[in-house]
Amino acid sequence: MKTYRADLHIHTLLSPCGSLEMSPANIIKQAKNKKLDIIGITDHNTTKQCKEVYRLGKIHGISVFLGVEINTLEEIHCLAFFENLAQISIFQSFLNKNLPDIKNLPEKFGDQVWVDKNEMIAGEEKKLLISGLNATINQVERKVHSLNGLFIPAHIDRPMYSIISQLGFIPDDIKIDAVELADISKAYNILSDKEKYTSITSSDAHYIEQIGTKPIHLMMKGTTFNEFKLCLKSKDGRKVIAGL
């Protein structure tokens, strides 16, 4: 068993609120500078930049979890992670189907471009990615788990765009693998049953300097997606260590 350092909520330049400096190469470089073993790529309502960050991570010895930050119909932000590119391709189709046809205004919301391995623009998303999907949190959760993914409500202690702020509670009929807190010390104030959910923290980085500022430490046998799954369940000595 070994302890690994992770930051699982990082946006790229594809998110309209993400800095254009958040290219795959710059993210991997900063992750190495921060001594991160694992990062999660979580753009708003899209997975289109995941593949290139994943490719670079393999070259530089950093495990990249393929993810997305979903905005549900209720305006609840949730993180989802998948094991492989085939799964995120299927989930991207789900996102494409459910993202409202609202045009992005780059001058107001920011650019929505993704880049290739040469750091050249490969495409631009025309629809506004920060819109709420035409899918409820229950529908999103079921789709994520149908693909053997992980479903984690994001920054549940924030006063906006969280499951607590929007619903006032965490429904029992939603299968949750963990919850993300902006401030881990708030867990005892936010969660009525502290033992019910594994809690993680992450940077929610939109700028290079934010990467690795709120890492978690994962005690497990390797940096694979399956090991992370087991770690969230505290299986056989694996555990999440927050606040180091």
Distance, CA of 144 to chain centre: 13
**Does residue 95 have a pLDDT over 90?**
yes
Q: Is 15 in contact with 43 (CB distance < 8 Å)?
A: yes
Homologous superfamily assigned to 2-242: Metal-dependent hydrolases (3.20.20.140)
Can you give the pLDDT at residue 182?
87
Instruction: Tell me the C-alpha distance between 9 and 3, whole Å.
Output: 19
Instruction: Tell me the C-alpha distance between 227 and 221, whole Å.
Output: 7
Share of the chain above pLDDT 90, in %: 91
Q: 219-230 pLDDT, tens per residue?
A: 999 999 999 999
Can you give the pLDDT at residue 128?
98
Q: 32-69 pLDDT, tens per residue?
A: 999 999 999 999 999 999 999 999 999 999 999 999 99
| 231: three-class secondary structure by DSSP | helix
**Does residue 103 have a pLDDT over 90?**
yes
| Alpha-carbon distance values, 160 to 37, 80, 146, 154, 213 (Å) | 30, 19, 28, 11, 21
Q: 132-189 pLDDT, tens per residue?
A: 999 999 999 999 999 999 999 999 999 999 999 999 999 999 999 999 998 876 655 5
Can you give the pLDDT at residue 192?
60
Q: Is 6 in contact with 215 (CB distance < 8 Å)?
A: yes
Instruction: Tell me the C-alpha distance between 151 and 129, whole Å.
Output: 19
Share of the chain above pLDDT 70, in %: 94
**Does residue 244 have a pLDDT over 90?**
no
Q: Which two three-digit tokens encode residue 38?
A: 């694992």
Contacts of 121 (CB under 8 A, 6+ apart): 113, 114, 115
Can you give the pLDDT at residue 163?
96
